[in-house]
Amino acid sequence: MTAEHARSPLEGRADDLGRFAAHEVPFLAQIDLRIARSGADPLPPFLPLETNIWLGWNGRDVLWLGPDEWLVLDGTGATEPAELLAELRTLLSGTHHSVVDVSANRTVLELIGDDRYQLLSTGCGLDLHPRSWRDGMCAQTLLARVPVILQERSGATRVFVRPSYAEWLLDWLLDAAEGSA
Amino acid sequence: MSRRLEAGGSWIDRAKPLRFTFDGAEYEGFEGDTLASALLANGVVDGFWSPILSRPRGVMTDGTDEPNAFVAVLEPWVDLITPATTVPLVEGLVALARAGVADLADAAPAGGRIGHVHRHVETLIVGGGDAGCEAARAAAGRGDRVLLVEERPRTITDVSGGEDVTVLSDATALGVYDDGYVIVHERVRAAAGERRVTVYAGNDPVEHTIPLPHGMERIWHVRAGRVVLATGAFERPLAFVGNDRPGVMLASSAMRYIERFGVLPGERAVAFVTNDWGKEAAGRAGAELVDVVDARDGRAVVRADGDPRVASVTIREADGSGTTVKADLLLISGGWNPNLGLWRAIGGGLTYDEGRACFVPDGAGPSWLSVAGAASGALPESAPLWFVEHGDDAEKYVDLQRDQTVTDVRMAVEAGLRSVEHVKRATYIGTAVDQGRTSGVLTAEIVNTALGWDPGAQGPTNARPPYTPVSYKSLAGPYQGLLLEPIRITPIHASHIERGAEFENVGQWKRPWYFPRDGESTDEAVARECLAVRNAIGAMDASTLGKIEVVGPDAPAFLDRMYTNRMSNLKPGAIRYGLMCGLDGMVFDDGVAMRLGEDRFLVTTTTGGAARVLDHFEEWLQTEWTDLRVFCTTVTEQWAVVALNGPQTRDVLTAAGTDVDLAKEAFPHMTFRDGAVAGVPARLARVSFSGELAFEAHVSSWHGRYVWDALMAAGEPFGIAPYGTEAMHVLRAEKGYVIVGQDTDGTVTPFDLGMDWIVNPSKGDFIGRRSFSRPDTARPDRKQLVGLLPEEPQVLLPEGAQLILQDTGAIPMPMSGHVTSSYRSAALGRTFALAMLKGGHAMHGRTVFAPMPEGTVAATVTPPVFYDPVGTRRDG
């Protein structure tokens, strides 16, 4: 269902992405999850509570986005959004929470080059040095003034970006990659 | 005449001669030279002049404190004005002398590439002298990541040790900001086509050579845990008659020209000093030292004469007698000023050091900031001398870049000014690019003297970033042209381009403005699009609408507090239009709320207001109503929205294929149904912003393009036309629907808009309610929304036109309102407008006037609804 008739924001730009060792990971099922930390209900154990950490849980990536906000996704793309939504609803039934399908709200650029931090540092104010940025971390930040989520995952950096910004951000990164080459 | 010595010069490489052009003449220098040292080596010792009085001037310093030797660099990079003392010499350099003022005619199109880079370090050191290098070694030794920036093309001593030390030369810290944020401007000038980067692995420096074009610049955004200012000190000149002549040079600068560049700045020198460093520097300056006049012995240089270069120096002895000696170089050392521009700009204070006769850091700066070396006051003692009493004050120059003298300072004081900050603004001393590096302390002490105050009673004026000038182009960096600002597009954007749309910027969004067909003017295209909606069907990409899901058991109560009307009694499956006000009761945003379930709403916002509304929701939830169990999630881009408007809408949806019953009874206006459109999951909503029968198809943004294409194909037999924001504006104005931000401006209440019906004071408190009881919001003469029909039906009132009630021509004329929206209506066959008019609700039928340069336009005031006022078309 998902793939049929669907277009990803960076469809047709694989060659451009390849110029800085990146590719799009489209159509990931993503659910925005909110649970009040001050609530009476104990927090489910699969939620990372530490700032800017993501955890793998049952084949899902659970990204800390804020004190009461997480992004739950299937990083492999195997799950449909509706399945993931239903799964979380079942898991959290009886607690005060919010789950909202945001699968199409962001697409993902995956950067795999060794020099990716150099490229990202031309437009991102975060400290991406191994002293403070490691596998298992994530962060909401700005990349070239565009709001993004960064996720460091299995030797790659994933950049979650709103579809509307994706093409402009790619153009910006191409320009930056040319300059730092 | 060459002044280059046969040997010596630790910075130059005599094996690498470089040719350059200055003011049209060709010269030769060596790699490692600055333009100033190369000019001095070629005997070009004057050749500069002052900006206001056009006095001949020569090179006075060897760094960023230079007040005289300004040049424009034209090749191989472009720098419209900069001191020659800071320009590294390169092969083929072309420069012109400039009198402290740039000439934009020299500006070449497109300079080099300017990159930006962010860097985090534990320790940032500004200044690559002994103190800076020592601080870098210490920081590296404790395992810090270290960045050392030096504004000259090289550091003075070696830095080694530590695994992560980066040294940037030809790089200036422009400003130090809160919490260790420092902006550094790095230039690629010295090395031809490459830049050497030294990274230290352990104690082993690893040299990388990066090929970079000349003129490349980089702005480094550095976040540092600690910042060490090792910015050194500037030698201070002294004010005496003729002190601005070519041949007057700071003693330490003359010494550096000899030792670093092997250049002899003069043959016969007199030194005038107040301190031991200056005395020693004069001794190492290479010239025959005729006399060292030490102020501490009661002696003074009272004038320098020459035509224009110094030829003789007059010395006044302690006993009052005078002698004149021949000399072509006059070396000055009036003490030392710690270089504290960066320190002061972040709030660091100064205290007067009597023994050294200078201002040193008072230690009260931010905890992460420290000052080391000469900048911290590690300086020789000095006699407190600023200017020589003897002679005409009007010939003693204080600020050479502003041609201001001791007389000018005294006149400012005599005019009643006491603070150096006021004197600065009266004389412009310190306002040139050097920010008073040579003149600041002199001015302060002349003011102190003139007021009879002690030395140090007040210090120099404050400094502010940038430390040295930087072009806007550099600060903009990659954010230029199409990359100036992020551009947002919808999933359907490529189709709009294929259809030849003209685009309008709405916030960061590109929205189709109209879709001209062959040869159509804007007006013709908009008229055609409007008629398509009124007579058949039009399709608009409404994906940019802000969308927020509001979830939780208290969501209904929360929305009741945010909107002026009640949302809690909305049935699931139903939609309601809502207005939001600020606490001031003024309209803030509008949109619809769709009740997805008992505890779940989807609210839409204006395209430009999405982030603002979400912030507004979060602010109230997080700061005031923490007890409410509500979560808000932005889903603007989860959904692509195609708005179908027009009498044929049902036919087109049916043709495209849908499992939703579209019949009037099954699917009334202001309700929504979930189903499928063209084979993909969709939410269909009956919402109309045109006054026609209308359905919005909300689909996953992945399917936006597909569904748009499917609907356009299905609509083709029905004459479907894509329409843009301009037609949308016309259609909604024909119905009197306001656009927040166009018809409102933050001073308009719902009542002013005639929307009393949307304010429900009986439902309990809501944002803005309190303000509706203010006398001001009940004034009868508030500007109120009206319609206008120009008496000449084809005359278009300009938006923004002021309205008056009597066309007497008498000036001033009381202004009673203004036009907020104005269009040609194809449906009405004439022009019409919306306006905010004082007391307008009671003025329907009256004539008002818009005085315009081409003549006054008369218009009749009407209700703001021009088309299908009962709504039979919309509800059909």
DSSP letter for each residue of A106-169: -EEEEE--TTHHHHHTTTB-S--STTT--TTBEEEEEETTEEEEEEEETTEEEEEE-HHHHHHH
Query: For chain B, what percent of residues have pLDDT higher than 90?
Result: 84
pLDDT at residue B211 in the model: 55
- Determine the residue of chain B that is closest to A101 in CA distance: B638
CB atoms within 10 A of CB A174: 16
Residues of A in contact with B636 (CB under 8 A): 105, 162
**Is the pLDDT higher at B105 or at B601?**
B601
Q: Alpha-carbon torsion B483, B489, B491, B495, what sign? A: negative
| Cα gap B131→B443, rounded to integer Å | 29
Q: Which whole-number Å values give the CA distances from B856 to A177, B817, B860, in the listed order?
A: 58, 15, 13
The predicted model gives B359-370 an average pLDDT of 92
CA atoms of B39 and B29, how far apart (whole Å): 8
Q: Which of A98, A164, A171 sits opposite B631 (nearest CB)?
A: A98
Instruction: Determine the distance in angstroms separating the CA of B706 from the nearest CA of chain A, rounded to an integer.
Output: 6
Write phi, then psi, for B458 (nearest 5 degrees). -140, 145
Smallest Cβ–Cβ distance between A125 and the set B221, B490, B704 belongs to B221
CA distance A121 to chain B (A): 5
Measured between alpha carbons, how far is B234 from B277 in angstroms, rounded to an integer?
12
Cβ-based contacts of B634 with chain A (< 8 Å): 105
Strand partners, A62: A55, A72
CB of B746 closer than 8 Å to CB of B586: yes
CA angle B166, B167, B171 (to 5 degrees): 125
Verify whether the Cβ–Cβ distance A145 to B485 is below 8 Å.
Answer: yes
Cβ–Cβ gap B120/A168 under 8 Å: no
Q: Cα separation of B200 and B208, whole Å?
A: 11
Q: How far apart are CA B129 and CA B108, in angstroms?
A: 35
Contact A168 B487 (CB under 8 A): yes
pLDDT of residue B244: 96
- The amino acid that residue B547 corresponds to is K
Asked if the model's pLDDT at residue B200 lies above 50, the reply is no
State residue B434's pLDDT score: 84
Task: Please tell me the predicted confidence (pLDDT) of residue B201.
Answer: 41
- Run of H or E residues at B177: strand B171-177
Percent of chain B's residues with pLDDT above 70: 95
Residue of B638, B642, B705, B707 to mutate for A, most A C-beta atoms under 10 A: B638
CB proximity list for B51: less than 8 A, separation 6 or greater: B99, B100, B101, B401, B402, B403
Lowest mean pLDDT among B73-87, B229-243, B417-431, B580-594: B73-87
| Chain B contact probe: residue of A164, A168, A171, A172 with most B CBs at under 10 A | A164
Among the partner-chain residues B116, B491, B637, the one whose CB lies closest to the CB of A7 is: B491
Q: Choose among B116, B482, B487: nearest Cβ to A122.
A: B116
pLDDT at B103: 76
Report pLDDT for B114: 85
The pLDDT of residue B851: 94
Between strands A30-35 and B93-98, the pairing is unpaired
Q: Locate the DSSP E strands across B662-703.
A: 672-677, 680-685, 694-700
* DSSP state, residue B277: H
Angle of CA points B505, B510, B511, to nearest 5°:
90
What's residue B206's pLDDT?
Answer: 52
Q: How far is CA B149 from CA B155, B227, B473, in A?
A: 9, 11, 21
Q: Are the Cβ atoms of B118 and A165 closer than 8 angstroms? A: no
Instruction: Give contacts of B706 with chain A, Cβ < 8 Å.
Output: 5-7
Which chain A residues contact residue B482 at CB under 8 A? 171
pLDDT recorded at residue A52: 97
pLDDT at B385 > cutoff 80: yes
Q: Which of B183-192, B352-361, B446-455, B775-784 has the lowest mean pLDDT?
A: B183-192
Mean pLDDT (chain B) is 93
Q: Which residue in B has a C-alpha nearest to residue A143's C-alpha? A: B486
What are the tens digits of pLDDT across the range B292-329?
Answer: 999 999 999 999 999 999 999 999 999 999 999 999 99
Q: Which residue among B116, B479, B635 places its CB closest to the CB of A102?
A: B635
Nearest CA in chain B to A67: B622
Task: State the pLDDT at residue B192.
Answer: 46
Instruction: Output the six-digit token pair for B860.
Output: 């009749």
The whole model's pTM is what? 0.92
Predicted local distance difference test score (pLDDT) of residue B191: 59
Asked if the Cβ–Cβ distance from A127 to B116 is below 8 Å, we say no
Using CA atoms, how far apart are residues B281 and B759, in angstroms rounded to an integer?
82
Question: Which residue in the set A103, A122, A167 is minimally distant from B117, CB to CB?
Answer: A122
Q: Give pLDDT tens digits for B505-560.
A: 999 999 999 999 999 999 999 999 999 999 999 999 999 999 999 999 999 999 99
Q: Which residue has the tokens 């041949």?
A: B247
Mark yes or no for CB contact B117/A121 under 8 Å.
yes
Q: What is the mean pLDDT of residues B428-451?
A: 94
Distance from CA of A168 to the nearest CA of B (A): 6
CA nearest to B79, candidates B471, B604, B652: B471
Contact (CB<8Å) A164/B637: yes
Cα–Cα distance, B720 to B717 (Å, whole number):
8
Tell me how close the Cα of A144 comes to any Cα of chain B, in angstroms: 8
| Complex-level ipTM | 0.97
C-alpha B7/C-alpha B11 separation (Å) is 12
pLDDT at B507: 92
Q: Which residue has the tokens 């010595």?
A: B5
Radius of gyration, CA atoms only, chain A:
17
Closest residue of chain A to B701, computed from CA coordinates: A104
Query: Mean pLDDT, consecutive 10-residue segments, chain A of 181 residues?
Result: 82 95 96 84 88 95 96 92 95 91 97 92 95 96 98 96 98 88 45
Q: Which two tokens stand for residue B847?
A: 């004539």
Number of A–B residue contacts, CB under 8 Å:
124
**Phi, psi values for residue B188, rounded to 5°:** -110, 100
Q: What is the largest CA-CA distance in chain A?
A: 54
Mutate to test the interface with B, among A168, A170, A173, A180 (most CBs of B within 10 A): A168
Q: Please give the average per-residue pLDDT across B430-436, as a whole number.
A: 89
| Confidence at residue B761, expressed as pLDDT on a 0 to 100 scale | 85
How many Å apart are CA B605 and CA B252, to the nearest integer?
Answer: 66
How close does chain B come to A18, measured CA to CA in Å?
A: 20
Residue A173 CA to residue B82 CA, distance in Å, equals 33
Tokens of B25: 């003449």
Nearest beta carbon to residue B486 from set A105, A146, A175:
A146
Peptide bond into B553 cis (omega under 30): no
Q: Which of A7, A164, A171 sits opposite B482 (nearest CB)?
A: A171
What is the pairing mode between strands B13-22 and B25-31?
antiparallel
